[in-house]
Amino acid sequence: MLIASLVLLTLVLIASIFHKINIPVIILSLAIGIIFGSDVTGLIYFDNTVFAKEVANIALMFILFIGGFGTKKQSFKSVLQPVSLLATVGIITTALITGFVFHLLVPKVPFLYALLLGSILASTDAAAVFSILKGKNVEHKLRTLTELESVANDPMAIVLTLFVIGLIQGTQGGILSSILNFLWQLAGGIGIGIGIGWLAVYVMKKVRQSEAEYFFIYMIAIVLFSYSIANVSRASGMLSVFFTGLVMGNQNIPYKKGLLSFNNIISFITNVGLFILLGLLVFPHNFAKIWGNGILIFLILTLVSRPITVFLLTWFCDIGLKEKIFLIAAGIKGSVPIVLATYPSAMGLDPDHEIFNIVFFVVTLSVIIQGTSLIPLARKLDLLVKNKRKTYKIVDLVTVTDTNFELVEVYIDEDFYEGSCLVADMELPPGTLITLVKREGQLISPKGSTEIFPRDILTLLVDKQYIEMIPIDILRSFVMKRLDNSHKEVPSEA
């Protein structure tokens, strides 16, 4: 218990020191695991890949569900084709090219093992991508494409990795049987996930009057249920939980925003705990045996596989050359490859942890080199847009009943608003209520006589259909008040 508390406290302190550098949490967590592991301080000895794999499976269930839950269908509209291709065909293409080229350059490594390495390392990392792009003004469509690809390609990488492991173990049967099994893993996982998602939404609406705490338990149960039903059906449990989350996250369910916040907390804690554990599993002294192959695979992925995949699959998409270059550079590796690297060891295919160490080494290179250079590259390519303050922001409105109302925050931007305006003089859409005024850190309960000034932040309860009108109506109210004041200041003629 004492060592566990020291591990977590050290992580928090290191994160507070390096927060300005924007280092992904997985790297900090892995570093803490290595520091407390047997090769550095020797405080904790951990070499149980079977246990690590079981923990990783549980963690991946929730990470993928949360990834689906937080993905909005509307975001897919402008980037549907490239995201769909890169997250499916792109994973297979990356794995095949990486495996073939690595086997060609290092013939002593059997092709299936080279293909296994390519499959494990084929996906891009959502945690790293979101962390690096957070607060950065990358062009909206490109940012959406990059983030959604990183979320959507993990399930395919998991299915492909398990498929290749089956080929190596000889458990897939003949060629036709292997292909059919692979297709069922995909189709079955997607179908079961969507079905359970709709069923979960239906049940949630029927029990909407339950206490909020029960909905959190319900959500955890749905994740476990979706994964288990798919596995029993010999489909992909990981695909199933992702699509269950996708369906639930795009429906109007009770306590939705509270559940999303809860999901984010689970995702963060799960990631931290998992990668501390994986860091403990690493023995850095073994890197001396694999660093050459690790660098070679990193170069193949970065300079061959990823560029070919991106250019090939975005050929007919409306994406410019500069955007493609950025997309290539954004192929950052992270959490899922390290988790998948525990599978071969747990299944007896990597007794010396060589595959795990290579993957860990490649991921570390990727995050350090690609992660730190991505934003400077975007700046060099002129893909950063001017920072603009949002005219409004939707905040949590906790309710168990279906409602057309939202809580909205509106910033009274001094660049657009002049003078002041009384709450009573504001002409707002029907049913709109100003519930709170925030001014220089102070909270004000508004009345009709309350005066609104530039730099205030208003919280309003407003019908969803009128949200877009709110900033316009407030601005009009300010203008009308200013004009009224100017008329009063003009002396009347005798």
Identify whether the C-beta of residue 409 lies closer than 8 Å to the C-beta of residue 457: yes
Q: Do the domains 392-487 and 2-380 match in fold?
A: no
Assigned architecture for domain 392-487: 2-Layer Sandwich (3.30)
- Tens of pLDDT, residues 154-188: 888 888 998 899 888 876 666 677 778 778 888 89
- Tens of pLDDT, residues 385-411: 765 555 556 665 555 566 678 888 888
Say which amino acid occupies 436.
L
- DSSP character for 70? T
Beta bridge partners of 411: 457
Phi-psi region of 132 (alpha: psi -120 to 50; beta: other; left: phi over 0): alpha
Written as tens digits, the pLDDT of the chain (494 aa) is 787 788 888 877 877 776 666 566 767 787 888 888 877 777 888 878 788 778 878 887 888 888 788 777 776 677 888 988 998 899 999 999 999 999 999 999 999 999 999 999 998 877 678 767 766 778 878 888 888 888 778 888 888 998 899 888 876 666 677 778 778 888 898 899 999 999 999 998 888 776 777 888 899 999 999 999 998 998 888 889 988 998 998 888 877 777 877 877 887 787 788 778 878 888 888 888 899 999 999 999 999 999 999 999 998 888 889 999 999 999 988 778 888 888 898 888 888 888 989 998 998 899 888 888 888 898 899 888 765 555 556 665 555 566 678 888 888 887 777 788 888 888 888 888 888 899 887 888 898 889 898 888 889 888 888 887 888 888 788 877 777 776 665 555 43
What count of residues does the chain have? 494
- For the chain, what are the domain ranges? 2-380, 392-487
The span from the CA of 258 to the CA of 331, in Å, is 32
CB atoms within 10 A of CB 28: 22
Q: What is the CATH number of domain 2-380?
A: 1.20.1530.20
The span from the CA of 18 to the CA of 13, in Å, is 9
Please calculate the CA angle 363-369-375 and round it to the nearest 5 degrees.
120
The span from the CA of 116 to the CA of 233, in Å, is 24
pTM, two decimals, is 0.72
The residues near 34 (Cβ < 8 Å, ≥ 6 apart) are: 40, 279, 280, 282, 284
Identify whether the C-beta of residue 471 lies closer than 8 Å to the C-beta of residue 391: yes
